[in-house]
Structure 1
Amino acid sequence: MGTGTVRTAAADEAAERRREQRGWYVYDWACSVYSTSVLTVFLGPYLTSVAEEAADADGFVHPLGVPVRAGSFFAYSVSLSVIVAVLVMPLVGAAADRSGRKKPLLGAAAYVGAGATAGMFFLDGERYLLGGLLLIVANAAQSVAMMLYNSYLPQIAAPEERDAVSSRGWAFGYAAGALVLVANLVLYLAHDSFGLSESMAVRICLASAGLWWGAFALIPLRRLRDRRAPAREGATAPGPRRLAATLRDMRRHPLTLGFLLAYLVYNDGIQTVISQASVYGSEELDLEQSTLIGAVLLVQVLAVAGALALGRLARTYGAKRTVLGSLAAWTAVLAAGYFLPAGEPVWFFVLAAGIGLVLGGSQALSRSLFSHLVPPGKEAEYFSAYEISDRGMSWLGPLLFGLTYQLTGSYREAILSLVAFFLLGFVLLARVPVRRAIGDAGNPVPEKI
């Protein structure tokens, strides 16, 4: 084979890889609207109001005969969706690696989630059970789909490309979330001008997220390619056994497991800040709902710039150092949040800006860093454990936040307590010899990592 033929083949391979990468970015563009508009902004308050409409005189609903306070129904539904996802993800991940057919599984998970989200249009009156069921299905499907989506990263990006590719994916997701959230807020805040009731406006916002998800998912499903892998024993075991088998396999790669532990700790802090920031703003700082929604939008917009900026920094300083720097920045943001004056939204927006700038980059670079530590042929299986760490294990932070508030009666003390997750995560990540971990996993070591 001549030199020219080799160069042509290499150029064709690079062009095909870039085509897949562009399709891969679009899936984040498709599904992130669900996380932003549905989970973060609209569904919680609306489903709670539907449950309260159906509640008895004591404020309880009775799903399957179990008394549940209406105000807790949304939280319990989210928790149940996480349990379902934890059971299903290891099974699907092992099946994807065994068969090499990730794309059909990704398509199935995406359209189950998008269909359930679009079905939220019919959530009205006292149909709280329908809302809970659709939330459980959509949230679990989103987790499964994201696990499969993430597992494509080591296959579509060369080692030196992954930080940039991962960062662009996060940036696409945050950009879509901001764009659709703006449209939804216009519809919601001006629903009278459009001749809509508030309930109908919310239902349209919920359903539109499902339609957006389903429509744009077509692009990655056309561009991503399946890669067959040899079968492995035990891949059809039940979910808990499959997860246990994956963790046992990780014991042969203790440095990979060490990174996952560090990620579990600091990501718990990140997820708790995201979920509790609005509580801190409303209860401690006496801010209006419109201010809190505006802050969510600001985070979405600045997370795009933050993801891209930290991706560029990683090219110079390496992903590990950049993530460590982002954890130091998270610590500084929380320390500043402790001193925010009440009743002054400008300073809360400054805090939101700080969160946005470090949020996307810390998540994107953590994903790309982990992709280097996954043994070849086990991408989906290992990313199921990563996704469980991301979505299924983030309970210690809220618990510490709640306990601190219970003991001190101060949300300021509660928000400051979360610094522990970033400090411990920093120490654990700093102790992981990333270059040796990549080599031990059987992967080439990038020049900058």
Structure 2
Amino acid sequence: MAGFFPLFFKQYWSTGTDATVSTFWLGLGNSGASFLILIMAPILGALADSGGIHKRLLAVFATIGIVATAAFFFVAQGAWPWAISIYVIAIIGFSGANVFYDAMLPSLTTHSDFHRLSALGYALGYLGGGLLFLVNVMMTLQPSWFGLADAAAAVRVSFLSVAVWWLIFSLPLLLGIREQAPTSSSRPALGKEFSKLWNTLKSIRQQRNLWMFLCAYWLYIDGVATIIRMAVDYGMAIGLPSDSLIIALLLVQFIGFPATLVFGRIGQRYGAKRGLWIGLWAYVIATACASLMSSSLEFYALAVALGLVQGGVQSLSRSLFGQLIPPERSGEYFGFLNMLGKAAAVLGPLMVGIVAATTGNSRIGLLSILVLFLLGMWFLRKVDDTPLAASTAPS
């Protein structure tokens, strides 16, 4: 999503199409998929809680994402309408599966181990994604080593390899994890779940601590997501070569593995808020520095800095939220968290685009993201990170 698809969409699937048209459809595809998940996430989470079907729904959405990702292999050059349509389906599968994946965390561990386990999950994700991405990059740089005709064939095969990898590493979870017990003995009904969601919204409004965290998360994760999605585009805008941008993404993946584990330890020993403060201040400083950079070496330094904190901010946000909600309604509440996550990277890119267009300077546009981090940190200051209630892992 961050590396190959944007480049391949412009350079291969959109061959012969005006660059502004391909940019428009890529933006529309991202926004459309995010909007659908925005609507679906809390409803699906509530249904999963009441029916005890987190794992089954995870399997359904993961399968949608896997099949869509594999389908990129068959999309011909110039067939950008097919590419963007499949991209939307793949994002829905990926994002939908994550709602249920995240919601399983409270049932798998104790509150005292939340931060470590959440960080371990993210860290292994960075390691696994980084290993496969490294192989895929080598395929595109040296296609002959892999018996491929050219770089275009290598990228198409890369999408197929991602689908196979995703399927294989979903099996331990699907086969080895026990399903969370239903919270209701009756069959889940959509109308009933809408009513429950409305009650949950009212409940969140009455829980000042949870409300403050959700406001903080929505703001700062928008900044994080904006940097993730806009980094390649920003690098290209200031004239950096595409190879340098790909190498920078690899740096983030591999540095993110050990760094996220360290943040898990920080959260476990000193609390999630302190870990988040470290990560968010690093984002503030890195964003300010990024507005001044002009070379590939500086872009690599930025990648290292973000790799050190990106996974920590993501994992500690998830585990802190898990401490603040009732475990028996984790799917429903994590549905709201994922909903806010999908609403993120909407405000940030809009700010960057408007400020850059108004000032005629992409660097000033990037600086506008600082507002999101600083406001998010202001709300985070008001959050009490005391766990809502103790919970125990199932036997």
Which interval holds the TM-score relative to the shorter structure? over 0.9
Distance 2:346 2:271 in 1: 30
CA distance 1:292–1:50, shift in 2 (3 Å): closer
**Counterparts of residues 405-420 of structure 1 (less than 5 Å):** 405-420=356-371
What is the match of residue 7 of structure 1?
Answer: none
* CA shift digits 1:243-278 (9 cap, x unpaired): 555423322423212211100000001111112222
Residue matched to 2:308: 357
Amino acid at match of 2:209: L
Say whether 1:267 aligns with 2:221.
Answer: yes
Matched, 1:318 2:318: no
User: What letter is aligned with 2:385?
Assistant: V
1:159 aligned residue: 111
Identity across the alignment (%): 30
Q: Is the 8 A contact 1:397 1:418 kept in 2?
A: yes
Tell me, yes or no, if structure 1 residue 347 matches structure 2 residue 309. no
User: 2:354 aligned with 1:392, yes or no?
Assistant: no
Q: Aligned in 2, Cα 1:375/1:319: closer, same or farther, shift over 3 Å?
A: same
Work out whether residues 91 and 242 of structure 1, in 8 Å CA contact, stay in contact via their aligned partners in 2. Answer: no
Code of the residue aligned with 1:201 in structure 2: it is A
SS at match of 1:226: coil
| Aligned mates of 2:151, 2:196 — CA distance in 1 | 45
Which of 220, 226, 230 is 2:179 aligned to?
226
Match of residue 76 from structure 1: 28
Per-residue displacement from partner, 1:397-424 (whole Å, max 9, x unpaired)? 1111112212222222122221111111
For residues 134-163 of structure 1, give each alpha carbon's deviation from its aligned partner in whole angstroms, at most 9, with x where no partner exists. 211110011111010000111101000010
1:279-318 correspondence to structure 2 within 5 Å: 279-284=233-238, 286-318=239-271
How far residue 183 of structure 1 moved from its aligned partner, in angstroms, is: 0.3
Query: Which residue number in structure 2 is paired with residue 139 of structure 1?
Result: 91
Amino acid corresponding to residue 249 of structure 1 in structure 2: S
Q: Which of 39, 53, 75 is equivalent to 1:123?
A: 75
Q: Which has the higher contact order (CA 8 A, sep 6+)?
A: 2
Q: 1:259·1:429 contact (CA, 8 Å) conserved in 2?
A: yes
Give how far 1:234 is off. Answer: 8.3
Paired residue type of 1:281: G
Q: Which has the larger radius of gyration?
A: 1
Q: CA RMSD in A?
A: 2.3
Cα distance in 1, alignment partners of residues 169 and 391 from structure 2: 34
1:80-138 Cα shifts (integer Å, max 9, x gaps): 21122223222321111011121111111111111111111111134333222221111
Separation in structure 2 between the aligned mates of residue 348 and residue 282 of structure 1, nearest angstrom: 11
**Could you list the per-position Cα deviations for residues 177-206 of structure 1 after superposition, in whole angstroms to 9, with x for gaps in the alignment?**
110111001111112453413322111011
Structure 2 stretches of 5 or more lacking a match? none
1:377 aligned counterpart, secondary structure: helix
TM-score (norm. length: structure 2): 0.92
CA distance in 2, matches of 1:283, 1:218: 41
> Do the aligned partners of 1:166 and 1:367 also contact (CA within 8 Å) in 2?
yes
1:94 and 1:235 in contact (8 A); partners too: no
Q: Matches of 2:63 and 2:289 in 1, distance apart?
A: 42
Cα separation, 2, equivalents of 1:199 and 1:290: 15
Structure 1 spans left out of the alignment, 5+ residues: 1-38, 61-67
What is the CA–CA distance in structure 1 between the aligned matches of 2:251 and 2:241, rounded to whole Å?
16
Q: Per-residue CA shift, 1:286-319, capped at 9, x if unaligned?
A: 2111111100100111111221111112222111
Q: Distance between the aligned counterparts of 1:240 and 1:142, measured in 2? A: 23
| Structure 1 residue ranges (4+ consecutive) displaced by more than 6 angstroms after TM superposition | 238-242
Residues 1:429 and 2:380 aligned together: yes
SS in 1 for 2:179: coil
Amino acid of the residue matched to residue 187 of structure 1? M
CA contact (8 A) 1:234 1:242 kept: no
1:253 match: 207
Which region of structure 1 is more displaced relative to structure 2, 366-375 or 327-336?
327-336
Q: Which amino acid aligns with 1:247?
A: L
Aligned partner of 1:8 in structure 2 is none
Give yes or no for the alignment of 1:42 onto 2:42: no
* Letter aligned with residue 143 of structure 2: H
**Structure 1 residue aligned with 2:141, among 189, 201, 217?**
189
My pick for the range that moved more, 357-366 or 98-107, is: 98-107
* Deviates most, 263-272 or 252-261: 252-261
Q: Of the candidates 379, 390, 393, which is equivalent to residue 444 of structure 1?
A: 390
* Aligned amino acid, residue 284 of structure 2: T
Q: How many residues align?
A: 390
Pair 110,238 (structure 1): closer, same or farther in 2 beyond 3 Å: farther
Change (3 A) 1:73 1:100: same
Cα distance, 1:265–1:239 mapped onto 2, change above 3 Å: farther
Which residue is equivalent to 1:104?
56
Residue 333 of structure 1 corresponds to 286
Equivalents in 1 of 2:187, 2:60: separation in Å? 24
Pair 234,252 (structure 1): closer, same or farther in 2 beyond 3 Å: farther
Q: Describe the shift of the 1:47–1:159 C-alpha distance in structure 2 as closer, same or farther (beyond 3 A).
A: same
1:89 to 18, 37, 41: 41
Q: Secondary structure at the match of 2:50?
A: helix
Q: Contact (CA 8 Å) 1:114, 1:214: kept in 2 or not?
A: yes
